[in-house]
Structure 1
Amino acid sequence: MVTSWREFWDRDNPIYVNARHKARHYAGLAQEIAALVPHPGAHVLDHGCGEALSAERVAGACGRLYLCEASPRQRDALAQRYAACPTITVLAPDDVAALPAAGLDLVVANSLAQYLTGPELDACLREWHRALKPGGRLILADVIPPHLGAAADAAALLAFARRDGFLAAALLGLARTFLSDYRALRRRLGLTRHGEAEMLARLTAAGFTAERMPRNLGHNQGRMAFVGRV
């Protein structure tokens, strides 16, 4: 039995309904992150990057890209995938503390906050603030508000699938997810939710000047994104 979110993400799982879904998700996310890079020489950390299938697009927009992933299995795959790209470095979460202070221009943490406890998130916020240069930015995205349920996530996925041509697979995938470890884990461990005011207060307490962004990264606009400036 899977007992933690880290264990869940370290193995095959049904989150992506097919290869097209996974590819479109990562391609769209990479495009959005690349657009946030402030200049071609920027140092960027993507914390909780997952499989990062299109990370070369982000790497092409910046000077150095750090891909941080908690899953050892995913880190091994990332290291192999980008072995020929000298500007991409793969990190474990503990490695972030070894990054130089005030060395990063941009940190992106997408779809990460829901898998962290409050104290874990606060520790990450302090670490990201330490690692960012004056004027640097944190993008904390895909934050789940208290009122958003699984049905809204499913509706957002189906709308995305309809636009991008994998609707039939999405319908089957939702049925598969209903019977999977993900649903059991979501019920047993829960996903951490944050109200807008509460998240802004956390960011401010960590030293950021913060505001909610007009749009979330990715397809699910029921979730929230925040920018924190150093």
Structure 2
Amino acid sequence: MSWRDFWNGEHAIYVSPRHKALHYRGIATDLISHIPSRDAVVLDHGCGEALDAGRVAAACGRLYLCEAAPSVREKLRAMLGAKANVAVVSPEEVEALPEATLDLVVANSLIQYLSRDELAALLVTWREKLRPGGKLVVADIIPPDVSPLTDASQLLAFAWRGGFLTAALAGLVRTAFSDYRKLRARYGLSTYRLEEITGLIAAAGFESVTPAKNFGHNPHRFTLVGRKAG
């Protein structure tokens, strides 16, 4: 099983419907804060189930939702089919977009599931698809010193604030015996020091690469923002 297989199948990464709803509501709010204008063309690459994508679509001119898992794309199309300014696309369809099409690219909680070579290739794709001066936001980057225990403690803190603590405790027990834990043990997650990932993004043709408030509930991870040079 690969990470794509995991996300394409049934999983319990969200401990309850409330957890999932609050997660996607927060991510949508964070994403909207980076949209440069009401007519901007936005790509959310690795969007997941994007339960609050309708609110994002209302804040921009056109929204591309890119998801590698076919089953998730089907759910997104069923949920958002009536919205004329939303397109649900595969990674291959992103590669086929005309150059200089996008004003904003967001990749939240994505690059930990990619190899460094895959990330390097995606950075090239994103640069090509962005207009000059367009913005790239890479969010929820995991530093090497953040452990699964830290992630668990932040989930519990989020659950306490969000009113699903009991479900979170049960969910952590399920995760200990889940395919997610097995995949994480087998493949690991890609981690980056701040200066390392900043250098990779800059080398791909982005300038003014700086930290920003992280997406989601975990302050031990970080977000970087850069603009396409030229």
* TM-score for the superposition, normalised by structure 1: 0.97
| Runs of 5+ consecutive residues of structure 2 not aligned to the other structure | none
Task: Give the match's secondary structure for 2:54.
Answer: helix
Once the two structures are superposed, what CA deviation does each residue of 1:183-214 show, in whole Å capped at 9, x if it has no partner? 11100111011111110110011000143323
Task: Give the match's secondary structure for 1:184.
Answer: helix
Q: Select the residue among 95, 101, 104 that pairs with 1:97.
A: 95
Per-residue deviation, 1:35: 1.6
Distance in 2 separating the partners of 1:81 and 1:88: 11
Task: Give the match's secondary structure for 2:94.
Answer: helix
Distance in 2 separating the partners of 1:100 and 1:44: 14
Length, aligned pairs only = 228
Distance in 1 separating the partners of 2:30 and 2:202: 25
Once the two structures are superposed, what CA deviation does each residue of 1:2-51 show, in whole Å capped at 9, x if it has no partner? x2100000011121000000000001111111121100000000000000
2:212–2:225 contact (8 Å) kept in structure 1: no
1:210–1:226 contact (8 Å) kept in structure 2: no
Question: Which residues in structure 2 correspond to 1:76-155 (within 5 Å)?
Answer: 76-155=74-153
Task: Give the match's secondary structure for 1:73.
Answer: helix
Q: Which residue of 2 aligns with 1:188?
A: 186
Once the two structures are superposed, what CA deviation does each residue of 1:28-86 show, in whole Å capped at 9, x if it has no partner? 11111112110000000000000000000100000000000000000011111111001
Which amino acid in 2 is paired with 1:194? Y
Q: Which residue of 1 aligns with 2:70?
A: 72
Per-residue deviation, 1:224: 1.1
Deviant stretches of 4+, over 3 Å:
none
Which amino acid in 2 is paired with 1:159? A
Distance in 1 separating the partners of 2:33 and 2:144: 29
Question: Which residues in structure 2 correspond to 1:29-68 (within 5 Å)?
Answer: 29-68=27-66
Task: Give the match's secondary structure for 1:24.
Answer: helix
Per-residue deviation, 1:103: 1.1
Distance in 2 separating the partners of 1:149 and 1:212: 24
- Aligned residues with identical type, % of pairs: 53
Q: What's the Cα RMSD here?
A: 0.8
Q: Which moved more, 1:133-142 or 1:41-50?
A: 133-142
Which amino acid in 2 is paired with 1:48? G
Per-residue deviation, 1:138: 0.5
* TM-score for the superposition, normalised by structure 2: 0.97
Q: Which residue of 1 aligns with 2:23?
A: 25
Distance in 2 separating the partners of 1:139 and 1:225: 7
Distance in 2 separating the partners of 1:212 and 1:18: 34
Q: Which residue of 2 aligns with 1:169?
A: 167
Which amino acid in 2 is paired with 1:217? F
Q: Which residue of 2 aligns with 1:6?
A: 4
Distance in 2 separating the partners of 1:224 and 1:34: 17
Which amino acid in 2 is paired with 1:178? A
Task: Give the match's secondary structure for 1:213.
Answer: strand
